[in-house]
Structure 1
């Protein structure tokens, strides 16, 4: 799940669904056509080459699903799929479906770019992913133009005063209006319950008796909702960097603000220990970052004709805190910005917001609130948002804000709470993996989700960063591989130390 800053803006259900725990649903809602795999022609990849030119085992396809599952014979949308064939076909276990998070991340692009991190799993599985409904090629939600998005993501979050808050609220209101104008047809139907139903149609189309699934970040909620709706269809399932879908917008904002501030302080300590380029002590380094952010409010840096605002710089810092591997680059980026060069922080911000070198945005920043807001019946009022803003900015002036509630307050379609209540009774065993140093999905959410599911087992990672399996920790990878490849569950209370 992406951390949502105050101006940019997590969890999921169709607006037509009723409140309460999702009920098991064994009906795939109509016939499911077989998948016609073919070359991939529109994957976003550096250099312009398609996967088919580099690796013929990478294939793409479309899968038709109902727009509205209450009217399965009505309009359909096309889900974009990708498959990377197993290298060991003689020992093939079937398909392993991935969701890498967001909500709003493209599974097609991410699997293509990240497949090497799952080579051990590919020895026995076809690796499969998709753009969920409302994302990129799957009826992707777009709100306004690229210029509109440039203005939205550039808004400052400092200084902490009423003028800044008012500007953010006005931008959120206008953004919601643009979403209704440009994507109103699909907005009521992009929630996680419908996405889980789509996954069961994908399972049928793949000819799999059960869904083997690897969900990361928001993908853990999608997997939890799937297990609640289709417990008998759950195969080997891993939920890494889990969120707790039951919490409120305010609780999520406070927890994430605390998580990012803790990770930022850990980064500063590590930076100083190694000889930090922008401060010899933690106090000095932090003061230099504060001065940079305050200066950018009135004097943004020019980068290729654009302005690196304080809001974009804060987004760049947050983006690098997702992975400890990014910390050396973040150190260089901050040091360069202090000296007047903002290219590296702008690069980090663009990587987070989905802006490419041509100035074109992915649907990430539009899909995220579209799914988030329809996934909750919450519509916080001004007093609730002010309390959240005050509490979170006391924790961290840099990372605090109103959170998702600030945009969902103005959202043009209602939401529901069905996907906030999960219970996988009757499913096979599920492995939940929580990281002690995860800023975006704080560790306390892992035991909470494990308990809510009722059929899960918790594996704890003592290291830093968002997501344990892709951290490179061998202990985590061995235990997850043992489960997905051989069905061996981690021992109860299993812990993997950082390396």
Structure 2
């Protein structure tokens, strides 16, 4: 659960939308006939992304001029009845650029969320993986319920505008009631519009899809690169299919031992830590930091801004206003990468002058809202997958009991994340477990990378994942950096370790540290 509650969008997908500035359900899918592993994929030129994937143009050619290819894989709707009805899962690939005799197989990516479209994210960041393409076909997919893969549908665009404008940090009984009623309406809309999918979008279902994908792609083992929630999906796959794991990298690692409450509390600390790093960077590298005289002053002014917005929203992107909730989401979005810090600085400067448009644009990116006012289904998918996975259900009394701990962890994000624990209230499907089982005895070594400055998946999760995978399986590497993830930071040490492992099978020593 890397982005619980109101921080529901897939961070990497949202970042791609920010920098780049018809929903087909499963109701009409035909029943399966025969063995699903016997199907042959029909690879074709990729279409433009669907609205549920975030829209936009078809993917640009690869650096060497080659074309991205897309296909649809049929998978059982219900893995307990594998020869029953099927759904279509959208796949994308870039063929290996190296000699055929050097090709290892397919390298499957999941970029996180849950709820992020791999079909749009892989080409958006494809140039970063060109070295890996020398020995692999690069493959990604929209997991079930996401994007073009039988997408979960909940509220419409107009309703989502209101949903993301509401006060997500209530201060009195009336505001608490309004938040709870809004959550219940959203969840009822999910059941009304996608009730057939909701019991079938758990991470265990997606892991079984990946093993089917492995077989259909013609690979004896699954070679895998999971980022953020993708590490949880990879861990669940390793637990279910330990002897089918190939070379696997987990980057920006989810703590598999934590409950939803513990995960949200860890994020509160993580985002506050990242905000402190942003503030210190501003005052130490700028001759005259426009946001404050000291790091503490920068943070204090942000707290005051959010308090003021609770009472008096600013003009945002017309006709919408920048509310306290939208501003908090926009600040959080900008802490996923140091590349976004400049936008946060500009957005805060602008807000202090009475204009909330930049912070609102950042918030829109977090929530999957395009400039045309259309939303991807990232939020609907994220909530549906998290609620299918997570057994605990919280009420307002639980949140009020926990608020002091969350506020102590973060004066900026504490309330926001604590109240987000209500997200699965009255969800129509029971959650599977308190936390995922990722124990994988018999699996080969898996490279587990933690970033000490990661706000969304705090660094401690990497050690927890390595331990949970089992002795001799989880191999931890530490990156002392900032932002969500390590490989895409461009750090040479991290990249050399990943390339040596994925391309040559050379596992780095456990405890390796990159700075």
TM-score of the two chains, using structure 2 as the length reference: 0.89
Residues 151-190 of structure 1 mapped to structure 2, 5 A cutoff:
151-158=162-169, 160-190=171-201
The alignment status of 1:85 with 2:91, answered yes or no, reads: no
In structure 2, distance between residues paired with 1:358 and 1:241: 31
Query: More deviation in 377-386 or 300-309?
Result: 377-386
Q: What is aligned with 1:336?
A: 350
The alignment status of 1:108 with 2:109, answered yes or no, reads: no
The alignment status of 1:301 with 2:307, answered yes or no, reads: no
Contact 2:36 2:75 in 1 (8 A): no
In structure 2, distance between residues paired with 1:419 and 1:79: 26
Contact 1:39 1:52 in 2 (8 A): no
Q: What is aligned with 2:333?
A: 319
Q: What is aligned with 1:389?
A: 403
Residue 341 of structure 1 and its aligned partner are, at CA, apart by 2.0
Residue 273 of structure 1 and its aligned partner are, at CA, apart by 1.3
Residue 56 of structure 1 and its aligned partner are, at CA, apart by 4.2
Residue 310 of structure 1 and its aligned partner are, at CA, apart by 1.2
In structure 2, distance between residues paired with 1:60 and 1:359: 27
Q: What is aligned with 1:417?
A: 433
Q: What is aligned with 2:443?
A: 427
Query: More deviation in 371-380 or 311-320?
Result: 371-380
The alignment status of 1:278 with 2:291, answered yes or no, reads: yes
Contact 1:316 1:347 in 2 (8 A): yes
Q: What is aligned with 2:453?
A: 437
Correspondence for 2:378 among 359, 364, 367: 364
Query: More deviation in 88-97 or 449-458?
Result: 88-97
Correspondence for 1:350 among 355, 359, 364: 364
Residue 50 of structure 1 and its aligned partner are, at CA, apart by 2.1
Residue 159 of structure 1 and its aligned partner are, at CA, apart by 6.1
Contact 1:435 1:460 in 2 (8 A): yes
Correspondence for 2:76 among 66, 70, 89: 66
Change (3 A) 1:121 1:330: same
Q: In the TM superposition, what whole-angstrom CA distance separates every residue of 1:350-388 from its partner, at most 9, and x where no partner exists?
A: 111100011111111111110001102212344333223
Residue 53 of structure 1 and its aligned partner are, at CA, apart by 6.6
TM-score of the two chains, using structure 1 as the length reference: 0.91
Q: What is aligned with 1:24?
A: none
Residue 286 of structure 1 and its aligned partner are, at CA, apart by 2.3
Q: In the TM superposition, what whole-angstrom CA distance separates every residue of 1:299-337 from its partner, at most 9, and x where no partner exists?
A: 222223221111111100000111122112211111111
In structure 1, distance between residues paired with 2:310 and 2:9: 19
In structure 2, distance between residues paired with 1:361 and 1:324: 25
- Supply the RMSD in Å over aligned alpha carbons: 2.2
Residue 475 of structure 1 and its aligned partner are, at CA, apart by 0.7
In structure 1, distance between residues paired with 2:475 and 2:330: 35
Q: What is aligned with 2:239?
A: 228
In structure 1, distance between residues paired with 2:306 and 2:169: 8
Q: What is aligned with 1:33?
A: 39
Contact 2:169 2:419 in 1 (8 A): no
In structure 2, distance between residues paired with 1:420 and 1:58: 33
Correspondence for 1:406 among 418, 422, 440: 422
Residues 36-51 of structure 1 mapped to structure 2, 5 A cutoff:
36-43=42-49, 49-51=57-59
Q: What is aligned with 2:464?
A: 448
Q: What is aligned with 2:135?
A: 124
Change (3 A) 1:221 1:293: same
The alignment status of 1:489 with 2:495, answered yes or no, reads: no
In structure 2, distance between residues paired with 1:177 and 1:161: 24
Q: What is aligned with 1:15?
A: none
In structure 2, distance between residues paired with 1:471 and 1:211: 25
Secondary structure class of the residue paired with 1:420: coil
Residue 6 of structure 1 and its aligned partner are, at CA, apart by 5.3
In structure 2, distance between residues paired with 1:61 and 1:39: 9
In structure 2, distance between residues paired with 1:179 and 1:38: 32
Residue 156 of structure 1 and its aligned partner are, at CA, apart by 2.6
In structure 1, distance between residues paired with 2:57 and 2:48: 9
In structure 1, distance between residues paired with 2:304 and 2:419: 24
Change (3 A) 1:376 1:2: closer
Q: What is aligned with 1:460?
A: 478
Residue 419 of structure 1 and its aligned partner are, at CA, apart by 6.3
Q: How many residues align?
A: 480
In structure 2, distance between residues paired with 1:404 and 1:495: 34
Q: What is aligned with 1:291?
A: 304
In structure 1, distance between residues paired with 2:194 and 2:162: 19
Q: In the TM superposition, what whole-angstrom CA distance separates every residue of 1:167-204 from its partner, at most 9, and x where no partner exists?
A: 32221111111111111110000000000000011001
Contact 1:5 1:315 in 2 (8 A): no
Q: In the TM superposition, what whole-angstrom CA distance separates every residue of 1:53-99 from its partner, at most 9, and x where no partner exists?
A: 77543000000000101111211110000001121133221110000
